[in-house]
Amino acid sequence: MTGASTDLTRAARREGIAFIFKKALISAFVALMLFSLMIGVRTEAGPTGQLIYWTRFGDLASIVGIVFVGSIVIELLRQWWGPAGIASVVPPSAQRALDFAGRAIPPLLLIFTFLVPVIFYNQRYILDLGILVLTYVMLGWGLNVVVGLAGLLDLGYVAFYAVGAYSYALLSTNFGLSFWICLPLAGILAAFWGVLLGFPVLRLRGDYLAIVTLAFGEIIRLVIINWQSLTGGPNGVSGIPRPSFFGIPLTPGDDGLAAKLGIEFSPTHRIVFLFYVILALALLTNWVTIRLRRLPIGRAWEALREDEVACRALGINTTTTKLTAFATGAMFGGFAGAFFATRQGFISPESFTFQESALVLAIVVLGGMGSQLGVALAALTLIGGFELFRGFDQYRMLVFGMAMVFLMIWRPRGLIGRRAPTVFLKQSTAISSELAREGRG
């Protein structure tokens, strides 16, 4: 019995070695093909304009060798760890630790965020970065309603961000309305545009929906560029009023907040104030989303993501359900946009390119669709990490891309790949995202 089993493992191992070698050879061959021209032959324009080239077969050989050995090492590691999969890659003890961390992280992170302006009071760079990260956290949470909960792939989220920003910019510069009046207006206008976009695209699903929302994002941007009389076109809108502390401006004058409090004026006050404004807005987004998830509308969003046909059979109006998801997400985008405008003091169409939509979508996907903590961590990683890698100079994008690829191998369903039930009888057991669907709507 024992002999038979050792024979078996020996046979499996022999087969394994053959497999590893085959795989390594294939990898080396692919590397040879790829790099033979890129590294093997070097071309340059000579002094008189002719083409000179020389070969670097030594470098090529060493790279192919590295790929060959590296492939063997990776394959050995993989066999040692067992088959790739969430359950086996993460051992149970580590999983328990992760669970504990999962419960401890949100409150700790929140406390730390509240203390950031206190700790880094003198470091303007950190404060600015914090505001930027929080803006993206808020955008991520807003888009999470549409993509993560309702499963509607929206590639034009930046349009609502732009609507919010321009709403505030134009209302305040033309009519002198204050930030706190414009904020809800910007949200309502963005939600309105969300519904407007929602109507024509309701029949579309999956890829088609993504294309139309992408186009919508571009349309908004092009309208802003070309409607010169209203939006100032490519020159943007400048001189957007800074927010006041409920009517008291944050200026060095006698009626400024500093003078009224009897403290010395510092420009940092405004930064700190902005930090807490965006923190409050982000937390509002979070609170509303968490609340909505537990209400029938939120459950209907998730049901829609899981199975639209079943929703219709249960008498759920899928049209209004989708529209509310679009409107809610757009409203938060609008809030974030108004904040962006007041922080920058100047906005132009260049801030609202497709790149922004893609970045926010990446935050949602990377965070784990539907997970609030995951989105916050992903925003921190993506925006903060991007700054962190500044030291790598020209290799920044490369390092960044590598990090994302590794993250997706390690956690294909995002950082937090689990969903907590909205209602439970005895105990709330998190559901692996392997079961949840990504939505085709």
Partner 1 sequence: MSGTILDVQGLTMRFGGVVAVNGLSFTAERHKITALIGPNGAGKTTVFNCITGFYKPTSGTMRLTHDDGRIIQLERLNDFRISKQAKVARTFQNIRLFPGMTALENLMVAQHNTLMLASGFTFLGLIGAPSYRAAEKHAIDQAKQWLERISLLDRADDAAGNLAYGDQRRLEIARAMCTEPSLLCLDEPAAGLNARESASLSELLISIRNQGTSILLIEHDMSVVMEISDHIVVMDYGVKIAEGAPQDVRDNPKVIAAYLGADEEEAAAVMESGT
- Asked whether position 268 contacts partner 1 by CB under 8 A, the answer is no
- Site for partner 1, residues 387 to 426, rule: CB under 8 A: 419, 421-426
Which of 204, 297 has the CB closer to partner 1? 297
Which of 50, 429 has the CB closer to partner 1? 429
Distances from the Cα of 437 to the Cα of 135, 240, 322, 369, angstroms: 28, 43, 16, 10
Residue length of the chain: 441
Look at the block and give the residue holding tokens 């999956």.
Answer: 206
Which of 243, 417 has the CB closer to partner 1? 417
Q: Which residues pair with 53 in a beta bridge?
A: 43
Smallest separation, CB 314 to partner 1 (Å): 5
Which of 328, 351 has the CB closer to partner 1? 328
Smallest separation, CB 317 to partner 1 (Å): 5
Nearby residues of 160 by Cβ (< 8 Å), 6 or more positions away: 142, 190, 193, 194, 329, 330, 331, 333, 334, 337
The half-sphere exposure of 129 on its side-chain side, counting CA atoms within 13 A, is 16
- Site for partner 1, residues 117 to 136, rule: CB under 8 A: none
Residue 220 contacts residue 163 (beta carbons within 8 Å): yes
Look at the block and give the residue holding tokens 């008291």.
Answer: 248
Q: Classify burial at 71, counting beta carbons within 10 Å of its beta carbon; exposed 0-12, middle 13-18, buried 19 or more.
A: buried
Q: Which of 269, 380, 433, 441 binds partner 1 (CB under 8 A)?
A: 433
Token readout for 249 is: 């401006």
Smallest separation, CB 259 to partner 1 (Å): 39
Q: Which of 318, 353, 396, 404 binds partner 1 (CB under 8 A)?
A: 318
| x/- letters, 276..315, toward partner 1 (CB under 8 A) | ------------x--xx--xxx-xx-xx--xx-xxxxxxx
Which of 24, 150 has the CB closer to partner 1? 150
Which of 194, 241 has the CB closer to partner 1? 194
Nearby residues of 366 by Cβ (< 8 Å), 6 or more positions away: 374, 378, 381, 382, 404, 407, 408, 414, 415
Which of 9, 317 has the CB closer to partner 1? 317
Footprint of partner 1 (CB under 8 A)? 288, 291-292, 295-297, 299-300, 302-303, 306-307, 309-318, 324, 419, 421-429, 431-433, 435-437
